[in-house]
Structure 1
Amino acid sequence: MKQLILTGPRKSEVIDVPIPAITDDQLLVKVTYSGLCHSEWYPWATAAPGDILGHESMGVVAKVGQHVKGFHVGDRVTGLGGGAFKEYIVMEPAKTVHVPDNVADEDAVAEPLACLLSAAMKLPPETLGDPVAVVGCGYMGLGAISLFKAMGYGDIIAVDPRKEALENARRFGATETYTPDTLPPYYMLTWDTMKKPDLTRDGTNADLFNVGFRRVMEFSGTESGLRLAGDMVCAHGTLGIGGYHNDSLRSIDYKLWNFKAITTINCHERRIAYEAGLCERCMMLLSRGIWPFTGLADERHIYTLEEFDLANEEMAAHTDGYIKGLVRT
């Protein structure tokens, strides 16, 4: 079978390896799609020979261990697992869920959806109709926007430096969109805006609590985006950090965060059993139309294993309307 391995920074090759054997308690899955994740861009860009990537997969059960219940050859499945850029992977039944008949293969890569659902549930509205701000409108930010709409948030403010990303944000439920340089001053509580006592929002005199937002989600994965998201939180508000900051250290004005008494939430998840349950929940939400987050990867951004390096370059450059990329095996 084909398997992708990295040969150095920004370089990969496809090699032939044996189809893996499974135990009586495992599944062998023929991979249909593996998702490209921006969290793996930096590991790709700095790779050592022999490194492997891929943690977002869906496919079809090819073989079932004799002790496994609930799965059959031919079932479409998705779930959690690593090293997914290959033709066949071994999956653990406890980390594997069925794909509903009315969910397309391209939409059924559950791992990033589970990450989104986990993050959004950590930042629920206090009251139906509350406003929320999202900084960073790539695939994950768009998913957060669409979930926040389904969760009952009212005004959803989206911020991104790319105009195309803001157009996408409107499509998935944002009610206001801004580039960082056009963001209204009263949407930020900073040392500068605190010096403007005549600053108003909706006719109310500015204070620490009605400038900025009580709920802000960051999905930029950049230092500038993280700093801006922190600026947008009002006093005693909450900042959810959903971006994956794995390329370098971050410098933030923690004095400002301290003064504003904000709560910060790491929106990532490491409880595997919990996240596997969310994979199943995500499939249900898509199947019932409760979370209409579909059609993100078009044919221009579906790649072969041999095109993996190109795929990462286009992911970073947002080439041709790139939102989500998939590798088809």
Structure 2
Amino acid sequence: MKCIEMLAPRKSHVIEIDDPSINDDQLLVRVTYTGICHSEYYPWATANAGQRFGHEAVGVVEAFGKNVEGFKVGDRVTGLGGGAYKEYIVMSKEKVCHIPDNLDDIDAIVEPLACIMSACIKMKPEAVGETIAVVGCGYMGLGSIALLKTMGYSNIVAVDIRREALENAKRFGATEIYTPDELPLEYRVNWKTMGMPNLTRDGYQRNIFGLGFQNVLEFSGTEEGLKLAAEMVCAHGRLGIGGYHNDGMRTLDFKLLNYKAITMINCHERRIMYEFGLCKRCLDLISRGIWDFKGVTKHIYTMEEFDKANGDMESHADGYIKGAVKCS
């Protein structure tokens, strides 16, 4: 079968490897598409020879072990698993779910949807009608905007450096859109907007509650975006960090964050079975039209175009929001 393998940084090739075998608790899945994830952009850009990527698979059951129940050959499935830029992968029965009949494969790539849902659950509103700001309006930010709208947020302020991303954010439910340069001063809570306080005495003599946002969710994945998101949080507000910051260290003004007494929330998830439960919820909400987030994965690539796909993801070429590799 075919498999994408790295040769060097930013350079891959397609090789032939043996078809995988399964045990009694596994399924053999022919991969139709594997989503391209920005969390693997930096690993791709710095890759060593022999590395393999891909964790957003969707496909068709080709065979299954004797202990697997509820599936049959030909079922369309998705779920959690790695090494997915191949024609065939092995998936554990505990991490596979059916795709609803009314969803196309390309809209049912569920792993990133579960990541979005996990972040939004951690940032759920404390009361209906609250406001939240989302910094970074790529695929993950857009999916969050669409889901947060269903969770009770009445105002969603979107921030991105790209005008095209902001127009997309408006389409998915943002009520206000800004580039960082356009952001009103009252939406920032920093030493300039509130004035340098006497840190030991006048916490209630500054406008630290009337500025900024009680809830800010960051999905930029950049130091600049993270710094801006941190500035936008008001006193005793919440900063959710959903961006995947794997390309180096980040520096934040913790003197400012400490003074504002904010709560920082890591919006990533490492409880695999909890995340798998979210996978099922995601497919249900999207198939029923409650979470309106379909038709965004429009850039489809062959296995031989994997390097181009990563370049397009980084440059946002030709209206890129989300891409996938067609594996069979």
Task: State the one-letter code of the partner of 1:269.
Answer: E
Q: What per-residue deviation string (whole Å, max 9, x for no partner) do you get for residues 73-111 of structure 1?
A: 111100000000000000001011110000111100000
Q: What per-residue deviation string (whole Å, max 9, x for no partner) do you get for residues 161-192 of structure 1?
A: 00000000000000000000010000011000
In 2, the alpha carbon distance for the partners of 1:223 and 1:17 equals 39
Match of 1:202 in 2: none
Q: What per-residue deviation string (whole Å, max 9, x for no partner) do you get for residues 94-141 of structure 1?
A: 011110000111100000000000000000111111110000000000
Match of 2:320 in 1: 322
In 2, the alpha carbon distance for the partners of 1:196 and 1:173 equals 36
Match of 1:47 in 2: 47
In 1, the alpha carbon distance for the partners of 2:225 and 2:16 equals 41
Contact 2:137 2:219 in 1 (8 A): yes
Match of 2:231 in 1: 231
1:206, CA displacement in angstroms? 7.5
Match of 1:265 in 2: 265
Consecutive unaligned residues of structure 2, counting only runs of 5 or more, are 198-204
The aligned runs of 1:162-311 (5 Å cut-off) are 162-195=162-195, 207-298=207-298, 301-311=299-309
Task: State the one-letter code of the partner of 2:309.
Answer: A
Q: How many residues align?
A: 320
In 1, the alpha carbon distance for the partners of 2:91 and 2:224 equals 38
Contact 2:221 2:244 in 1 (8 A): yes
Match of 1:134 in 2: 134
Q: What per-residue deviation string (whole Å, max 9, x for no partner) do you get for residues 238-264 of structure 1?
A: 000000000000011111000000000
Match of 1:58 in 2: 58
In 2, the alpha carbon distance for the partners of 1:306 and 1:240 equals 37
In 2, the alpha carbon distance for the partners of 1:46 and 1:311 equals 16
**How high is the TM-score relative to the length of structure 2?**
0.96
Match of 1:200 in 2: none
Match of 1:146 in 2: 146
1:265, CA displacement in angstroms? 0.2
Match of 2:31 in 1: 31
Q: What per-residue deviation string (whole Å, max 9, x for no partner) do you get for residues 209-238 of structure 1?
A: 120000000000000000000000000000
In 2, the alpha carbon distance for the partners of 1:21 and 1:189 equals 56
1:195, CA displacement in angstroms? 2.3
In 2, the alpha carbon distance for the partners of 1:132 and 1:297 equals 25
Match of 2:200 in 1: none
Consecutive unaligned residues of structure 1, counting only runs of 5 or more, are 198-204
Task: State the one-letter code of the partner of 1:284.
Answer: D
Q: What per-residue deviation string (whole Å, max 9, x for no partner) do you get for residues 138-158 of structure 1?
A: 000001100110111011000
1:288, CA displacement in angstroms? 0.7
Contact 2:240 2:267 in 1 (8 A): yes
Task: State the one-letter code of the partner of 1:236.
Answer: H
In 2, the alpha carbon distance for the partners of 1:323 and 1:279 equals 21
Match of 1:15 in 2: 15
In 1, the alpha carbon distance for the partners of 2:253 and 2:206 equals 22
- Give the direction of change, closer, same or farther, for the CA distance of 1:206–1:292 in structure 2 (3 Å limit): farther
Q: What per-residue deviation string (whole Å, max 9, x for no partner) do you get for residues 252-300 of structure 1?
A: 11110000000000000000000011111111011111101100012xx
SS of alignment partner, residue 33 of structure 1: strand
Q: What is the identity percentage for the equivalent residue pairs of Structure 1 and Structure 2?
A: 63
SS of alignment partner, residue 116 of structure 1: helix
In 2, the alpha carbon distance for the partners of 1:314 and 1:139 equals 14
**How high is the TM-score relative to the length of structure 1?**
0.96
Contact 2:195 2:206 in 1 (8 A): no
1:196, CA displacement in angstroms? 9.7
Match of 1:116 in 2: 116
Aligned CA RMSD, in angstroms, stands at: 1.2
- Give the direction of change, closer, same or farther, for the CA distance of 1:256–1:206 in structure 2 (3 Å limit): closer
In 1, the alpha carbon distance for the partners of 2:119 and 2:294 equals 18
